[in-house]
Amino acid sequence: MSDASPADHHQFLAVGEGEAARKIAYIVRPKSGSGAGPTLIWLSGYRSDMSGSKAVELDRFAGENGLACIRLDYSGHGLSGGSFADGTISRWLEEATAVIDHVAPERILVVGSSMGGWIALRLAQELAGRPGAPKLDGMVLIAPAPDFTSDLIEPHLTKKERSSLAERGYFEERSAYSSEPNIYTRALLEDGRENRVLKGIIETGCPVHILQGMKDPDVPHQHAMKLVEHLPADDVVLTLVRDGDHRLSRPEDIERMLGAVRGLIR
C-alpha cells in the first residue's frame, strides 16, 4: 500500500471559461527507468476520487513497473473545485480529456470504475481519429456503468422522485457508501441521454477487460453482459466475480484489476 497523500503532490488545471471555470486536481507519476509501456489513466466513479484504494494501488503498480500514471478528481469531487450539483457526464469527460491533453502521453491504458467506465468509453470515442491524440492501448472497466442514468435510474424513478425533479431540479437517494445522500439532477439525467453509448456498436480500437461482481447491488452483472454485446469489434474479456460487490476493492479484487492491467500491457 502507498502511504502518499494526494494532497502532497497534486496539481491543478484550469478547465472551462467564465462561470463554467473550475480547477481540476490531478496527480502525475512520471515513468521511471526505461519503461516503455503506456501511461495508466485512472477514472473514478460517481462520488469517488483519486485517493480510493483501487486508484492508489494502480499508482503503486505503475511505480513498481516504471510506468507513468495519471489520476484526477472530477469537479465537485475530492480536491477539485466546482460544485458537484453542476456535474454531468459531458462536464466530467471534458475535465478528463483536458488533463490528458495537458500531460500529453503518447500511449494510454485507461482503467475506469463504475461511472468512470462510461467516461472511459466516451473518451475512446472522443480520441478516435483526433490528430495528435494518444494511442489507446487497452481498457480495464470495473463494474462499468455506461448509460446508468437512462438504463438504471430513470426507469425506476418513484413518483416522489419525479416530482422532486420537476419541482426542485434534483432528487436525493440514500447512499450505501456515505452518510451524505446521492444527488441526481435533471441536468445529469438529460446530459446522460446525450452521452449514451449502448445504442449501437462501440469501437474502442483496443482490447477491453471487464471485471464485474455478481452480487453488485448497483450495477447488475447483466449490464456488463449487455455492454459486451455492444463491443463486437474489440477483443473483450469479461470476468464475473461470483461473490463480488460493486466496489471490488478487496485485496483479491485489486489483484484481479492489476492482473488485467498487466495482461493488457503484455
CATH code where residue 39 lies: 3.40.50.1820
Q: Over the stretch 136-169, which tens digit does the pLDDT of each residue have?
A: 999 999 999 999 999 999 999 999 999 999 999 9
| Res 4: pLDDT | 47
- Count of domains in the chain? 1
Residue 213 belongs to a domain: yes
> Measured in whole angstroms, how far is the alpha carbon of residue 27 from the centre of its chain?
15
Report yes or no on 189 lying in a domain. no
Domain contains 170: no
Three-state DSSP state, 29: strand
Environment class of 227 (CB within 10 Å of its CB; exposed 0-12, middle 13-18, buried 19+): buried
Q: How far apart (Å, rounded) are the C-alpha atoms in residues 217 and 41?
A: 26
98 in a structural domain = yes
- Domain assignment of residue 80, yes or no: yes
Determine the Cα–Cα distance for residues 142 and 54; give it in Å rounded to an integer. Answer: 10
Distance CA 115, CA 261 (A): 19
> CA–CA separation, 80 vs 73, rounded Å?
6
Domain range for 51: 6-147+201-265
Q: Is residue 184 part of a domain?
A: no
Asked if residue 168 is part of any domain, the answer here is no
Q: Cβ atoms within 10 A of the Cβ of 179, count?
A: 6
The beta strands (E) that lie in the chain are given as 11-15, 22-29, 39-43, 69-72, 107-113, 135-142, 170-173, 182-185, 208-213, 236-241
Would you give the DSSP letter of residue 156?
Answer: G
Judge whether 182 lies within some domain: no
Structure-block grid coordinates of residue 68? 507513468
Contact present, 44 and 55 (Cβ < 8 Å): yes
Q: What is the pLDDT along the chain (266 residues), one digit of tens a residue?
A: 344 444 458 999 999 999 999 999 999 999 997 768 999 999 999 999 999 999 999 999 999 999 999 999 999 999 999 999 999 999 999 999 999 999 999 999 999 999 999 999 999 999 998 999 999 999 999 999 999 999 999 999 999 999 999 999 999 988 877 778 889 999 999 999 999 999 999 999 999 999 999 999 999 999 999 999 999 977 999 999 999 999 999 999 999 999 999 999 98
